[in-house]
Structures are given as structure tokens and as C-alpha cells.
Amino acid sequence: MNVKTLATQRKTARRFKSDPVPREAVDYILETARQAPSGSNRQPWRFIVIDDPAVKTKVREAAEAGERGFYESLSPERATWYREKGLSWAKPHLTDAPTLLAVLGDTEAPNYVRSVWVAVGYMLLAAEERGLGAVTYTPSDPEKVREALGAPVNLSVETVMPLGYSADEKPKESRREMGELVHYDRLE
């Protein structure tokens, strides 16, 4: 299947079957990520593969503590948007997904956020190719999650990706048309 087809059929998964993710598929995804380019070739990504239910619970509790603060801070308009999407501070997928892939960035590397997220893009397509669903959950308070993971202060939690076989029946969110996004030679 080509890259465009993988990208087009991929949609976010926040609900998962209980079937475990084969270790070989996790390796495939991380081997793909490892090949991404990065600023000054610093390869500032570090990965934590989380299968242990106790660690998942700890991560979920830390994440939800941060989300409660975030949801309380929302304007009424944005709060409505999130509610209509069925989103809230609760992150059950952080314990329901069979595996979490935490992706951390080395904050001492130049352009580390950009580099890490190129690798995340690679991971999403590799997961789709293996029939796995995921969501790039970015904690509202990444420091709380970093502490829960026992990671040092020079690493930032960029995303915690719940990974598994999707049981999410929500359709893919719509996409803007090309004409809205693409300009030629100059912005008009």
C-alpha cells in the first residue's frame, strides 16, 4: 500500500481491542522512527514501551491531573468544541490500550521538538501499515507525566501514544481541500 493511501485511511483511535500488540510490530514502528532525519543528526528521540498495567495507571493518573487543570482553563467556546468531540479530562485509553509508546525529546538538542515529530509522523504511518491504531496524545502538563515515568529533567514528554488494534468507530475528521492549503510561488 502506498504512503498516500496509508495516510488517507489512517484515523485516530482512542478505543482499542484488548488483543496485545505483537512485540515485533512495536519494533517495526520504532525501527522506522529511528531512521528519521533530525537537527544536527542528534536523534533526540527516546522511547518507552509500556505494557505494565501498573505503569500505565501511573501515567494515566499523572496525565489526568494535568488535563483537569487544562479543561478548567478553557474558554466556553473551546470547552464546547471539546465536549462536542466527546473529549474530556478523562484519558481511559492510557490504561485501555494494550501498549503505550511514550516519546521523549532531548531538550538539549537543537530543534528537538521538530525532529521528534518527524519521527512521530513516521511512527503513525508504520503503525497504520501494521493495522494498528494510535492517537498522539500530548499531555497538557508533560512535567507530571515525565515524573511518573521517572525520566530526567532534560527529557520532555512529547507524546504518549496509546497503541493497539482499533475499536474506535468514529469516522476520520474531515480535511481541508487542497485549494485552501496550497499556494504557488507566493501567498495571495
Can you give the binding site for a second copy, defined by CB under 8 A? 2-4, 6-8, 10, 12, 27-28, 30-37, 39-41, 43, 45-52, 55, 81, 111, 113-114, 117-122, 124-126, 129, 135-136, 138, 149-152, 155, 158-159, 173-176, 178, 181-187
> Which CB, 150 or 169, lies closer to a second copy?
150
CA angle 39, 41, 44 (to 5 degrees): 75
Least Cβ distance, residue 65 to a second copy (angstroms): 19
Residue 173: DSSP 8-state: P
Least Cβ distance, residue 188 to a second copy (angstroms): 9
Contact 49, 149 (CB under 8 A): no
**10: alpha, beta or left, given left = phi > 0 and alpha = psi -120 to 50?**
beta
Tell me the angle at which helices 142-149 and 53-73 cross, rounded to the nearest 10 degrees.
170
Least Cβ distance, residue 59 to a second copy (angstroms): 10
> Which CB, 169 or 178, lies closer to a second copy?
178
Whose cell is 515529530? That residue is 117
Contact 44, 105 (CB under 8 A): yes
> Which CB, 8 or 18, lies closer to a second copy?
8
How far, CA to CA in Å, does 154 sit from each of 63, 66, 134?
A: 19, 20, 26
> Which CB, 72 or 185, lies closer to a second copy?
185
Least Cβ distance, residue 17 to a second copy (angstroms): 20
Least Cβ distance, residue 107 to a second copy (angstroms): 14
